[in-house]
Chain A
Amino acid sequence: MDVDIMLRVDGSQHRLAVDTRTTLLDALRERLGITSAKKGCDHGQCGACTILLDGRRALSCLALAVAHQDAEIVTAGGLGQGGLHPLQRAFIRHDAFQCGYCTPGQIVSAAGMLQEAAAGWPSAVSEDLDADDVVLDDEEIRERMSGNLCRCAAYANIVPAIAEVAR
């Protein structure tokens, strides 16, 4: 059962007809040829498909495209438009990947996470739940990024890369 929808992805408008079963991830990859969001587990457990959905980080494998008509989507590819994003530069500088498959999801997730921290959102490891300012030490970064898995275990370099941008 096809439905006509509109998606704005990395600044470009796309009109397409999708089967109601299509996820945002499949719409991006299979229909629009935008492949920077990766399909890892396809069950919401790995974070490789992370996008910014209407400004917030979200898992595109668990979002039906019909339920997000007119959504504004940013992928890792879109973050880097007009030169590398500071997070992308930091990941390169810190060698924060091995195979690279989880990297676009890590970078988009980190971008969303930095906005959440700037808005004063606490995390499960925040000592003072009601603090106005969030200090992103390594423990905070690890907790806030726990939804992004790296099977190469590049965490030892991912955390300092994000910490550098957070400073």
Chain B
Amino acid sequence: MKPFRYERAADVSGAVALLAAEPNGVFLAGGTNLVDHLRLGIAAPDLLVDVRQLTSGRIEELPGGGVRIGAAVPNSDLAADRVIRRRYPVLSQALLSGASGQLRNLATTGGNLLQRTRCPYFQDLTTPCNKREPRSGCAARDGYQRDHAIFGASEQCVATHPSDMAVALAALDAVVRTRGPGGERTIPVTDLHRLPGEEPERDTVLEHGELITAVDLPPLAVAANSRYRKARDRASYAFALVSVAAALDVADRAVRDVRIALGGVAHKPWRARRAEQALRGGPASEESFRAAAEAELAQARPLPGNAFKVPLARNVIVRMLMDLAGEQR
């Protein structure tokens, strides 16, 4: 592991200034992904700025009915929070379906969003990877593709984003609050992560030195009837092949409101807007759920090694919507 300096700041703006002054520096929060990358040599910073105790560790209800989650809130506390469990159950379930108890206790809300792909070639320094080393090639193109993307991939990169939490946040229209060298801004979670395009080395739209300080959940009535379902190669402690976060409100057998996001299928949490559009106002039936899933999946461009994800995603979406429609009856 390459030597690095370790710094703490008195406050958020101090931490942002420290990092802005060091182009080869990174923020450290829970460290559950970064420390592994330091050891593997995927990350080789000169400076770590520890922000674990700088941002808020609180979950606060906002005046308009939303909830503000401090960036330092551990994944375990967020999953167990009573307000989240009751009003946004999909978020609690998504968190609980990810990682292990030990990891959730250390991992933070901000860090979870910024974790990097688990593509085996990204994590293996002996293979080419455009995300790790721009213009070196992509070993997954002719290699192992089971974990890889079916939506929005590019010639350069077919990696997927590994977070479960981010999939739920995308479905919930959550908004990320940041502080950077240029001041504060807000970014919808659906716009935080990028598609790989020509620059797969950039996971998100964040600038160097820009720190996530909180995530806001909007008031969202439909979220009370929401769930997360994850298909994976083991019953527990594995990343998603396909996951779905969904919320559904049915009245008089018609879909009044619906939110769907998919995980394990793209370089970012994949908000299924075509499926939502196909569903809204239509009948809450298995037939229409299937048609909506197929409308979304018409854009899929699977690889030879992950074509199974297309019918898998369809089935997981349909089963999820059937369950949510049944819950509400």
Contact = CB atoms under 8 A, between A and B. Distances in A.
B4 A147 contact: no
A116 B101 contact: yes
Interface stretch (B35-43, B56-64, B209-217, B275-283): B35-43
Nearest to B230: A124
Interface string A45-57: 0010010010011
A14 B123 CA distance: 35
B101 A67 contact: no
A58 B102 contact: yes
Nearest to A113: B101
Given A64-B6, A129-B85, A112 B38 contact: no
A158 to B, nearest CB: 14
Interface stretch (A27-35, A74-82, A93-101, A138-146): A138-146
A109 B1 contact: no
A50 B100 CA distance: 11
A159 to B, nearest CB: 13
Given A20-B48, A58-B102, A146-B236, A44 B6 contact: no
A47 B38 CA distance: 19
A58 B105 contact: yes
A67 B31 contact: yes
B6 A1 contact: yes
B80 A67 contact: no
Given A20-B3, A121-B76, A122-B79, A57 B31 contact: no
A16 to B, nearest CB: 15
B77 to A, nearest CB: 9
Contacts of B39: 42-43
Interface in A1-21: 1, 3, 19-21
